[in-house]
Chain A
């Protein structure tokens, strides 16, 4: 009798907190999060090469913090303007050697870029190490921070 009532109460708890069971089922695996972020990166790469402002505007968070290889801090508006004006061009695109750190809806993506980039007329072929921070906001992965550093080449 008591066991039956306990089961009934447990059922009531589950009914009262439906989010618990749902949340457990909906938690994406680390692999699927990595795939989602890499997919967003692939879309961003393509948009950078095509200077697709609509897509770039969607992926970059409004308050994105960007530090380029010259140690300049750029806002979203400045970065998009660089693409739109052609001051920043990707002559070739090559990045990899990724590592991920996943903390819920925050993902730290590290990697190495060997892309050839033209910035304000100067061509840069030096490999770069980068940190990208993605956060899922309203169901979409947004780039909230980007920092790039030239990799010191052995002489």
Chain B
């Protein structure tokens, strides 16, 4: 009888683990405002990590499959992008972003905005305003940048 009770308990526990995500989903959904706040916090952390060359934080905040397209139309993967920062080829001399727009689709967030940051790239300083699109996805509880593209604003 004890063995049967143990078997029933085991089965109930198994049921809980397998269906756990459904129950968790029903418990709490972040509001759009909370998600926007979380994304802005992650983006600020990202800029800080770039300025401090904090490799651990950069690794954590960027997805392994990151695709980064800079204003020259050059496409970089995560390793190439982080190496540009580590080597000092890419430096943020100042950070200034505004005019944000967020579109939230569950665990995927599109953030677009304008950047007036002063950036030094391979020795050339760029002060021209840029329009950017960043895509963040929540993976194992952490928002990560999966794609970023920046385009110079022609008329500013």
Contact = CB atoms under 8 A, between A and B. Distances in A.
B105 A65 contact: no
A133 B7 contact: no
B3 interface: yes
B101 A128 contact: no
Contacts of A99: 67
Interface in A50-92: 61, 63, 65, 67-73
**Size band of the B side of the interface?**
35 or more
B124 to A, nearest CB: 11
A6 B108 contact: no
A71 B67 contact: no
B108 A135 contact: yes
Contacts of B112: 65, 67, 73, 145, 147
By secondary structure, the B interface counts as strand
Contact of B67 (A16, A63, A73, A101): A101
Among A2, A108, A130, which residue has the most Cβ atoms of chain B within 10 A? A108
B154 to A, nearest CB: 4
Contacts of A63: 103
Given A103-B108, A106-B108, A12 B153 contact: no
Interface string B105-138: 1001010100000000000000001111101010
Nearest to B65: A101
Interface string B5-31: 001101100110011000000000000
Interface stretch (B42-50, B69-77, B86-94): B69-77
Interface string B127-156: 001111101010100000011011111111
B33 interface: no
Contacts of B74: 129, 151-152
Interface in A102-117: 103, 106, 108, 110
B18 A147 contact: no
Nearest to A68: B151
Contact of A148 (B65, B101, B108, B151): B151
Contacts of B146: 101, 103, 106, 108
B105 A135 contact: yes
Given A70-B154, A129-B75, A152-B74, A6 B7 contact: yes
B131 A144 contact: no
A145 B19 contact: no
Shortest beta-carbon contacts, A-B, top 5: A71-B153, A151-B73, A9-B11, A152-B72, A147-B149
Interface of A: 2, 5-6, 9-10, 12-13, 16-17, 20, 61, 63, 65, 67-73, 99, 101, 103, 106, 108, 110, 127-131, 133, 135, 137, 144-152
14 contacts: A6-B10, A9-B7, A10-B14, A71-B129, A71-B152, A71-B154, A71-B155, A72-B154, A133-B133, A133-B135, A147-B112, A147-B133, A149-B149, A152-B74
